[in-house]
Structure 1
Amino acid sequence: MTDTTTLRYAEADTVTGRVRGFWRGEPGAGGSAAFLGIPFAQPPVGDLRFAAPVPAQPWQGVRDALEYGATAQRGDPGVTLIPEPSVPGDATLNVNVFTPVPGETRAALPVLVWIHGGGYFAGSPASPWYDGRAFNRDGVVTVSISYRLGFDGFGWIEDAPSNRGVRDWLLALEWVQANIAQFGGDPSRVTIAGQSAGGGAVLTLLGMPAAQHLFHSAWALSAATADVASATWQRIGRDIAARLGVAPTRAGLSAVPEERIVEAQKAATEVSGSDGVTKLLDDGLTLGPSIDGDLITRPTLESIAAGVGADKPLVLGATEDEFSMIVSGAASKLRWIPLAVLLGKAGLKGGTRTAYLAANRDVVARGHAAALGRYVTDRMFRTAVVKTATARGTAPTWVYRYAFRSTQPGMTHDMAVHCIDVPFWFDCLDSVRVEPLTGPNPPQSLADQTHGAAASFVVDGDPGWPAWSSAPGTTRVFGGAPGTPAVDPDGYAPVAPLL
């Protein structure tokens, strides 16, 4: 809870009423004002459950925006790779605004809108890592947004609007357009960014015609798009309803407590067994943005290849060992199984396997678990980087890869794992629970480089290295081993056999 007795308050107007935030540091001297939990939509409960989001209602007087709002994530203490705590309550559709110039409507600073990850079923915008104070220091107004998760946000229901979580993104971005000038931001200079499912959200929006007027550039970290096929979307929706013993309608599902729907969702989407990884690699996510024929009419990559969003600068990349941690705990057992067998069971066979192993000799030398983990990472994340950058053609596109390896003993040791880039990107190495991911004393110099590139892109439209769109293959390498060039002319060559 925020100690309101010691706060220096800040106020700003929105189209629905005036809000009161608070300063961290001194106004005008590098300080940052935080406005937390501002509703952009009415609570999605009662008659509005499973409905498209409805804009927030006006209020009288000044509304306190001193605490993070309710989150769609329930019960998670937020101590996974990123601290993303759950906050109870019904008003889960809210935004957090961080600004150095609240109320200065003529400041017209560039704006960053952050979309959190979590596989489209978890995650929270209330993470201390997503605080925008470092971007405020660089003259960027920062907003983090919430959206409905799991079945509530993305599940098929016979008579409900599709892609409700996507519609939440759109309404949150509409809120930014209508209100951000009151917080010192320029609505014509909005960059959207996100990591993991949040990065997938960024690419989904980039390829969505209905979203083009809401932002002008994009940065996707470790993007995990869903593009759930219509048949899969309906099958999972019917499965969940059947497990609950109700009709797959709003009336039927609205009568079921939220906890039971979450349990049924977990059961219907569980990936387990000896072929679980292979199934995930082949089938992809089964709950997330779906090809509904309305908002999303074709796979994101097809839309991008067709030129949607080509006028918008894009930065994208991935860490080198995104999901290697899922097999690292079994390294001692995997070392006794022939690597060809391990990779074959995961779907990599024949000449493709031979070429892939030849292109990744350095990873193979680190052991069977490292090689299998890299293959899973490449299938799920790194090939998508290349495919997206290639699909963009000459549209302004920059590519990076994150090579910094954790020094923390345990499941993340000596790997550039999923999420490890986030505290560097936000320049928040002094925040909570960074060390368990990065290891002790993560290098501030790397945060300066990473965050500096992000701020440069948001402010000037260029992250500071040569574009892939000008010379395909060109890749910025963050956190590489000593002596590694900062720019690799063919930085994703190891994934080429999988393309």
Structure 2
Amino acid sequence: MTESPIVSTASGPVRGFWRDHGTAEASAAFLGIPFGQPPVGDLRFAAPVPPAPWPEVRDATEYGATALRTTGTDTLIPEPAIAGDSTLNVNVFTPSLNASLPVLVWIHGGGYTEGSPASPWYDGSRFNRDGVVTVSISYRLGFDGFGFIEGAPHNRGVLDWIAALEWVQQNIAAFGGDPARVTIGGQSAGGGAVLTLLGMPTAQHLFHQAISISGALADVPFDEARARSTRLAALAGVTADVDGFRSVDEATLRGLQSKAASAKRGFAALTDQLANGLPWGPMIDGDLIAQPTVDALRAGVGADRPLLLGAADDEFTMVAERERARLRPIPAALLLHPFIKNRDARRAYLEANRPQRALGTAAMVGRYISDHIFRVLVPRVAEARLSADAATWAYRFSWVSPTKGWACHCLDVPFWFDGLDRVRVDALAGPHPPQSLADEMHTAAVALVADGDPGWASWHSQPGTTRVFDGSGPHVTDTAYDSVLALL
């Protein structure tokens, strides 16, 4: 096992490396394997093109270039930005090259504009230990991946997901994986990507199960996507077509895309997203994505694919907390009025969240932001899949971070990956996060990937049934998402 492992892919041989020799976590890593040619030059804003074959053994011991270009210091998950043009890559982690193991394909989050597959939090070694081959994938971000461009294919980032999954189908057996047992998983925008793919008839042959963690759907209406593109072109001083946008360098477009989406900044930009949705992400183009995702799921698309989904209690509450002093004197009911216009629904929502409301206006507004973007999607998707009798399992993450004060966004990721010892986890989860909780959550994920059942009653067998992960031991309830029902 000490010799460097070499695997032959459809494009050519790659050399990886072994980790943790002689332990239960011994596994091989193959990093930065291209599934597409660099999306630059004439391929910029084009559909992904398979890589040119290489005859010699290609080194796959370092992560490839990322679509993420600038790594912030305050991001919750450490996601490195790696320079280079060849940004369409997969990373494979496997315990054995001579097996036929279930596969987890991980799609990173970042609001469809940020994020990187090169995070140490996404290393698949603990899944490998438990008999699961793990793959993390990259995709084009922001306007490059999702903006409307006349003369270019729509939803290029979605096409990247599909191309990466096609690579898995074609190559994963050589890495010890079973292409007939592929689970797609992701968090935040990655969880939204999972739901988007689940609702696409043309993607069904590429995976068999799905895990959506704190999923955030975009479902950008076509006309809104086109209007944002027009604004971006005006800001850049070019025509709103493929030739015009290709004449502007990537950094300039990246710098202008947030302004094209909204003139507001900070907390105001977040509330703007509540009203208008995520600015960049999969759009309903009438072709690749024919209808809103929940509508597709209600119509039965993906009904034969088991799904595990859920969210944290206070995904974005800490963002509102930064505005605590400014929000304190304003009644929560008044702040929510523009977003929940129906008086009865607004009253019902505030009543259902009375304990949160007692914590102050910022806490209540933060809970609403969390509910609107993430938590309400759980019962909405689960109920949509009921009509097709689809196997759906729900969870709720309620363990409170001792450093952030909330069960916040991204906090649960190292628990799912059983990676509490990874770099910078302590900044989010404190110095002594409960390993018992990681054991529970990681075991559930492995069970879904390996057996199609995470280990508790499904929503379709007992509507409302939800596993609560709060650190107090396993328990299941049918009222976990009652506080968001007024928003349905």
TM-score (norm 1): 0.94
Indicate conservation of the 8 Å contact 1:110/1:140, yes or no. Answer: yes
2:419 partner letter: C
1:418 partner letter: H
* Inter-CA distance 108–123: structure 2 relative to 1 (3 Å threshold): same
Asked whether 1:136 is paired with 2:102, we answer no
Alignment partners' CA distance in 2, 1:485 and 1:110: 25
Alignment partners' CA distance in 1, 2:72 and 2:218: 25
Alignment partners' CA distance in 2, 1:53 and 1:163: 11
Paired residue for 1:430?
421
Measure how far apart 1:282 and its partner are.
Answer: 2.4
Paired residue for 1:316?
309
Moved more, 117-126 or 255-264: 255-264
Paired residue for 2:280?
287
* Inter-CA distance 12–397: structure 2 relative to 1 (3 Å threshold): same
Measure how far apart 1:173 and its partner are.
Answer: 0.2
1:449 partner letter: E
Measure how far apart 1:79 and its partner are.
Answer: 4.8
Measure how far apart 1:475 and its partner are.
Answer: 0.5
Measure how far apart 1:277 and its partner are.
Answer: 4.3
Measure how far apart 1:275 and its partner are.
Answer: 5.8
Indicate conservation of the 8 Å contact 1:407/1:439, yes or no. Answer: yes
CA shift digits 1:289-336 (9 cap, x unpaired): 011111011101111100000000000000000111111112233222
Paired residue for 2:50?
55
Paired residue for 2:31?
36
Measure how far apart 1:39 and its partner are.
Answer: 0.3
2:81 partner letter: S
From 129, 147, 151, the counterpart of 1:155: 147
From 388, 392, 399, the counterpart of 2:385: 392
Alignment partners' CA distance in 1, 2:420 and 2:244: 47
Measure how far apart 1:344 and its partner are.
Answer: 2.4
Measure how far apart 1:341 and its partner are.
Answer: 2.0
Alignment partners' CA distance in 1, 2:82 and 2:162: 23
From 173, 182, 190, the counterpart of 2:182: 190
- Gaps in structure 1 of 5+ consecutive residues: 1-6
From 225, 241, 247, the counterpart of 1:249: 241
Asked whether 1:112 is paired with 2:104, we answer yes
Paired residue for 1:420?
411
Measure how far apart 1:87 and its partner are.
Answer: 0.2
Alignment partners' CA distance in 1, 2:331 and 2:353: 16
Asked whether 1:459 is paired with 2:454, we answer no
Paired residue for 2:346?
353
Task: Tell me the number of residue pairs that the alignment of Structure 1 and Structure 2 aligns.
Answer: 484
Measure how far apart 1:231 and its partner are.
Answer: 0.2
Paired residue for 1:401?
396
1:423 partner letter: P
* Inter-CA distance 485–448: structure 2 relative to 1 (3 Å threshold): closer
Alignment partners' CA distance in 1, 2:234 and 2:107: 32
* Inter-CA distance 134–271: structure 2 relative to 1 (3 Å threshold): farther
Indicate conservation of the 8 Å contact 1:79/1:85, yes or no. Answer: no
Alignment partners' CA distance in 1, 2:380 and 2:273: 19
Alignment partners' CA distance in 1, 2:450 and 2:268: 46
From 252, 261, 268, the counterpart of 2:260: 268
Indicate conservation of the 8 Å contact 1:278/1:345, yes or no. Answer: no
Secondary structure, in 3 states, of the residue corresponding to 1:287?
coil
Measure how far apart 1:27 and its partner are.
Answer: 6.3
Measure how far apart 1:436 and its partner are.
Answer: 1.2
Measure how far apart 1:28 and its partner are.
Answer: 8.0
Alignment partners' CA distance in 2, 1:447 and 1:244: 47
Paired residue for 1:301?
294
Asked whether 1:490 is paired with 2:485, we answer no
* Inter-CA distance 78–458: structure 2 relative to 1 (3 Å threshold): farther
Measure how far apart 1:149 and its partner are.
Answer: 0.5
From 410, 433, 447, the counterpart of 2:438: 447
Alignment partners' CA distance in 2, 1:271 and 1:426: 37
Indicate conservation of the 8 Å contact 1:457/1:463, yes or no. Answer: yes
Paired residue for 1:45?
40
2:82 partner letter: V
Paired residue for 2:222?
230
* Inter-CA distance 271–458: structure 2 relative to 1 (3 Å threshold): farther
Matches within 5 A, 1:168-179: 168-179=160-171
Measure how far apart 1:57 and its partner are.
Answer: 1.0
2:206 partner letter: L
1:389 partner letter: A
Indicate conservation of the 8 Å contact 2:209/2:307, yes or no. Answer: yes
Secondary structure, in 3 states, of the residue corresponding to 1:9?
coil
Moved more, 256-265 or 351-360: 351-360
Indicate conservation of the 8 Å contact 1:78/1:84, yes or no. Answer: no
Measure how far apart 1:485 and its partner are.
Answer: 6.7
Indicate conservation of the 8 Å contact 1:98/1:142, yes or no. Answer: yes
* Inter-CA distance 32–95: structure 2 relative to 1 (3 Å threshold): same
From 61, 82, 85, the counterpart of 1:87: 82
1:132 partner letter: G
Asked whether 1:472 is paired with 2:463, we answer yes
Paired residue for 1:4?
none
1:488 partner letter: T
Alignment partners' CA distance in 1, 2:25 and 2:429: 28
2:225 partner letter: W
* Inter-CA distance 41–275: structure 2 relative to 1 (3 Å threshold): closer
Paired residue for 2:375?
382
* Inter-CA distance 29–363: structure 2 relative to 1 (3 Å threshold): closer
* Inter-CA distance 251–276: structure 2 relative to 1 (3 Å threshold): closer
CA shift digits 1:100-127 (9 cap, x unpaired): 112x2xx110000000000111100000
Alignment partners' CA distance in 1, 2:286 and 2:198: 17
CA shift digits 1:72-110 (9 cap, x unpaired): 0112246501001100000000000000112x2xx1100
Secondary structure, in 3 states, of the residue corresponding to 1:355?
helix
Alignment partners' CA distance in 1, 2:474 and 2:207: 33
Alignment partners' CA distance in 1, 2:148 and 2:77: 29
Measure how far apart 1:264 and its partner are.
Answer: 1.6
Measure how far apart 1:248 and its partner are.
Answer: 1.6
Alignment partners' CA distance in 2, 1:175 and 1:209: 19
Indicate conservation of the 8 Å contact 2:340/2:346, yes or no. Answer: no
